[in-house]
């Protein structure tokens, strides 16, 4: 008579969790424009989709402030300052945003700005995922 096996754990082990997470990141990188900022708004990194969308090389934007992608009249507003204070407080933002490419062309993106936390619960950077929704 066969013996009954103990039920398998529903949760994934650590290696599976890491592989799953890496797969999710790779999938997002394939289809989303992704850029990372420090807490002051300076560019840390960007993927090829973001660079192609905005018309830049990484070396041109790394260390530069987020405002380089926005209309200058917007970056001087209290709304823009509040946008960054909101992110720095740990809140995320999602919506449609007007941005400006290197060539000066205005585009619209559907994006989410997401604070990333370390194990201690401190915000370490902001990651933006974006899709071009500009109507042509």
Q: Name the β-bridge partners of 34.
A: 129
Please report, in tens digits, the pLDDT of each residue of the chain (136 residues total). Answer: 555 555 555 555 888 888 877 787 777 777 789 999 999 999 999 999 999 999 999 999 999 999 999 999 999 999 999 999 999 999 999 999 999 999 999 999 999 999 999 999 999 999 999 999 999 7
Q: Which of 28, 45, 52, 65 is nearest to 101 (CA)?
A: 52
**SS3 assignment, position 74:** helix
Can you tell me whether residue 59 is helix, strand or coil? helix
Its CATH class, for the domain covering 33-132, is: alpha beta
Q: How confident is the model at residue 17, as a pLDDT?
A: 80
Determine the pLDDT at residue 26: 77
pLDDT of residue 29: 74
Give the ranges where the chain is alpha helix by DSSP (H). 14-31, 48-54, 58-61, 72-75, 78-88
Return the SS3 of 39: coil
């Amino acid at each position: 008579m066969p013996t009954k096996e103990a039920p398998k754990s529903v949760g994934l082990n650590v290696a599976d969790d890491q592989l799953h997470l890496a797969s999710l990141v790779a999938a997002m990188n394939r289809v989303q424009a992704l850029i990372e900022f420090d807490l002051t708004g300076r560019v840390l990194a960007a993927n090829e989709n973001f660079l192609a969308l905005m018309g830049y090389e990484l070396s041109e934007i790394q260390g530069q402030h987020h405002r380089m992608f926005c209309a200058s009249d917007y970056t001087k507003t209290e709304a823009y300052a509040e946008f960054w204070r909101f992110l720095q407080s740990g809140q995320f933002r999602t919506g449609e945003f007007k941005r400006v490419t290197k060539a000066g062309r205005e585009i619209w993106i559907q994006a989410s700005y997401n604070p990333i936390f370390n194990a201690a619960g401190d915000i370490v950077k902001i990651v933006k995922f974006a899709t071009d929704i500009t109507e042509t």
